[in-house]
Amino acid sequence: KVPTYEYYGFVLYLFSTLVFLTYLLWAYLPSPFLHALGIFYYPNRWWALAVPAFLTMLIVYIYVALACYNTEYLTLPLGSLETVVDDAAKVAVVD
Averaged pLDDT for residues 67-74 = 92
CA distances from 8 to 21, 38, 43, 63, 75 (A): 20, 31, 30, 31, 43
What is the share, in percent, of the chain residues with pLDDT greater than 70? 91
Domain ranges of the chain: 1-40, 43-76
First CA to last CA distance, the chain: 60
Q: Is the pLDDT of residue 58 over 80?
A: yes
Q: Are 36 and 30 in contact (CB under 8 A)?
A: no
pTM for this prediction: 0.63
**Confidence class for position 91, pLDDT limits 50, 70, 90:** low
